[in-house]
Amino acid sequence: MKILIPVDNPVFEGNVSVSFARAPYFLVYNTDSKDKLFITNTAADSQGGAGIKAGQLVIDAGVNILLTPRIGENAAQVINAAGIKIYKTLNESIEKSLNAYLKNELSELNDVHPGFHGHH
């Protein structure tokens, strides 16, 4: 199973990013092989439609689960359409967030925000 987390820096010891679509990097963690792959979020510097493009990136990375503290409505629509489950992180630490998910301590993210649409 692959889990994706938006992160500030491409290091496992770093932080979960406060936003999803505008996060500079995504961590893809493979629970079977324990592989940690960092990919650059090319949607981050989009003028508009970052959520849709970031959502497309997540789908194309072939992940099953997204862990994020928040997500915009367009990104959520794309990711939900692909059947990927979104869980809300409660901690800044990447490692703690992953462990919390694996121990079934996170709940599904339902409070989708209307997006920043260039006004953040």
Nearer to another protein, 9 or 80 (CB): 80
Whole-angstrom distance, CA of residue 92 vs CA of residue 54: 20
**Residue 46 interacts with another protein (CB under 8 A): yes or no:** yes
Phi, psi of 62 (to 5 degrees): 70, 35
The angle that helices 73-81 and 50-60 make with each other, rounded to 10 degrees, is 30
Q: What mask, x for binding another protein by CB under 8 A, covers residues 68 to 107?
A: ------x--xx--xxx------------------------
Whole-angstrom distance, CA of residue 90 vs CA of residue 6: 13
**Residue 109 interacts with another protein (CB under 8 A): yes or no:** no
The footprint of another protein (CB under 8 A) covers 43, 46-50, 52-53, 55-56, 59, 74, 77-78, 81-83
